Every structure is written in C-alpha cells, then in structure tokens.
Amino acid sequence: MSLLVVGSIALDSIFTPFGETADTLGGSAVYFSVAGSLLHPVQVVGVVGSDYPRAELERLASRGIDWSGVEQAEGESFRWKGKYSYDLQSRETLETRLGVFADFRPKLPEAFRSSGYLFLGNIDPELQLGVLEQITHPKLVVCDTMNYWIKGKKDALMALLERVDVLMVNDSEARELSGDWNIHRAGRWILAHGPKRVVVKQGEHGAMLMEPGRTFYAPAFPLEEVFDPTGAGDAFAGGFMGYLARIGSISEDSIRSAMIYGAVMGSYAVAHFGIRGFDGVTLIDVQRRVRTFRDLTHVALAELMP
C-alpha cells in the first residue's frame, strides 16, 4: 500500500550557533520523504516555484521518492528563515515567504488517490482537508499542524481533526490547541476531538504516544552533537509512517514500534544542516540504531519485581 505526503517544499535559510545555510532544500514534505523512503517508497504532493532547484529534488528520486505530484508554478518558492538559540532549545522565525504556496490547490495524480498511508504535513488545514478528500480509502491518516494555523484557522483545523487517525504535534502546539498546559490533559482534550491517537514530540525529551487510557514514551537518541533541529519532527513522521507502510500494519504494537523508527529518523535529521544528516544512511544503519534504542529503556523484569 502506498505512502503519500503533502507538505511544504521549501528553501530554508538557517542560523545555528555552528554555522548558517542559505536557500537549502527543506520543508515538511522533503524531510518526511527523505526519512520515510529509507523504509518505504514515498509519493509527494506539493508545489515549488520557478526558482526551485528541481535537479536537487530529482537526485533524491533514486531513494524511492516519487515527485510526480509536485507542481511547478510561476513565482517564488516557499522560503523560511530561522535562527536557533545557543543551546538549540528555541528558535525564532526571521522570515516566512509563502510564494507559490499562497495559491496552491493540491490536485492529486490519479495514481496517488488510492494511497493507504497519508501524512498531512504542516500546511494550511484547508489544503490538508483538500488532499484528504481526494484519497479514496485511506488506511491511516496522520496530520501535523503548527501554532500559526491553531491561531488563524482553528475551525478548519478542528474539522480536519475529526477526520484524522493521529495528530502529531510538538508539546507547545498540543498545549496551545487544547488551552491546557498539562500535557496529559492536553492529550486527552485532543483525543476527545477526533483523533484516536496523539503523538507529542518533545525534542531532546523524545516523543509520547497517547491513546485513551494508555501512554507510551519513546526516548530521544542520546546525542552529544546536535547541529540543526530543523525538520526533526517531519523526519520523525517519515520514520513513523514509513515503518507502518513497510510492515502493512497499524496494530497497537506496530504503532509503538513506529514511534521508535520515528525517533531514529529524528536523530539523523538533527545531526547536520538540512537533510544532510541522512547522507549515506542505509536501512542497516536504521535497524542498528533501532536496536540500540531498545536498550535505552530496557529493564530486566526479574529485577523490577523481585
């Protein structure tokens, strides 16, 4: 069953304490696909402007990324410029230029409409809904959002939530959406508004999967060097969805394992500027890191309950 993502395809300019880049490949759909395609082929829906370095995208096609759903429109590509604090714990958006994204109305190629696994990356919830409506029989629909849409398009977002299986957001977004600072109450609020599951990404503290009456924690990989957190959440989503599409299951156990694959992809994303953290990473590397993840929370049961 195929895996589809709709999201931004951007040119990012990033300032970190360790250096800076200008107009580098970025955006939620790009991070998602680069991570997800390590596990399963990915179909992408999005738009780029006439100034986009399409050759760089095409080079990534050999990984199993199908860019045929990406329109090229007259005008400027989506651009984001941001600056991280010295400890990478916070970031400031210096500039967002929607460019061709302002008038984007996603139209899926016929071959994409039968997708089973759908990730609605962080774009206008009306566009997310527009894509969802073109999918005939989705098996699992996961969506992301951000404070900008929570503030500006709350109604559309709430309508979308009623139709998705999993909301995947970071902790500040979950708090803002629910209006509750306690993350567990925030999660319960979201579960009462549509999604069957909530994934709360917490950066260096890992990610949490909330289901009614049950919680699962995936730690973050212990990294002594974090270079650029941009895209870590989308890479997480790529690992999560790529794993599920690969094994073709959405059982409770599978979803927990998918959290670990997500965390592994997040750990690659932050290791370098842009998508460079994935350079040379193979499925074998991913599986090796998954195995080391297990040890991060492993307790011998005989010891625990003597």
Question: Does the footprint of a second copy cover residue 90 (CB under 8 A)?
Answer: no
Q: Which long-range contacts (CB under 8 A, 24 or more apart) does 251-255 make?
A: 252/211, 255/197, 255/209
What DSSP designation does 219 have?
Answer: P
CB-based contact 206:232 (threshold 8 Å): no
Q: How far is the CB of 241 from a second copy (least distance, A)?
A: 16
Question: Does the footprint of a second copy cover residue 213 (CB under 8 A)?
Answer: no
| Segment near a second copy (CB under 8 A); pick from 43-51, 101-109, 270-278, 284-292 | 284-292
Which is closer to a second copy, CB of 87 or CB of 155?
87
Which is closer to a second copy, CB of 102 or CB of 223?
223
Smallest CA-to-CA distance from 205 within 195, 220, 215, 190 is with 220
Chain residues 171-200 in contact with a second copy, contact rule CB under 8 A? 181-185, 188
Which is closer to a second copy, CB of 88 or CB of 132?
88
Binding string to a second copy for residues 48 to 87, with x set by CB under 8 A, is what?
A: --------------------------------------xx
Residue 237 three-state SS: helix
Q: How far is the CB of 116 from a second copy (least distance, A)?
A: 17
25: exposed, middle or buried (Cβ count in 10 Å: 0-12, 13-18, 19+): buried
| Segment near a second copy (CB under 8 A); pick from 61-69, 115-123, 142-150, 210-218 | 210-218
Element (H, E) at 68: strand 65-72
* Structure tokens, 92: 């400031």
Instruction: Supply the angle between the helices 183-191 and 171-178 in degrees, to the nearest 10.
Output: 60
Which is closer to a second copy, CB of 45 or CB of 183?
183
**Is the dihedral angle over the CA atoms 147, 9, 278, 247 positive or is it negative?**
positive
Q: Which residues pair with 250 in a beta bridge?
A: none
| Segment near a second copy (CB under 8 A); pick from 70-78, 125-133, 134-142, 244-252 | 244-252
Which is closer to a second copy, CB of 55 or CB of 305?
305
Residue 302 three-state SS: helix
Q: How far is the CB of 305 from a second copy (least distance, A)?
A: 7
90 C-beta neighbours (distance < 10 Å), count? 10
The site for a second copy (CB under 8 A) is made up of: 86-87, 181-185, 188, 202, 204-206, 208, 214-219, 222-226, 246-247, 251, 253-254, 256-257, 260, 287, 290-291, 294-301, 303-306
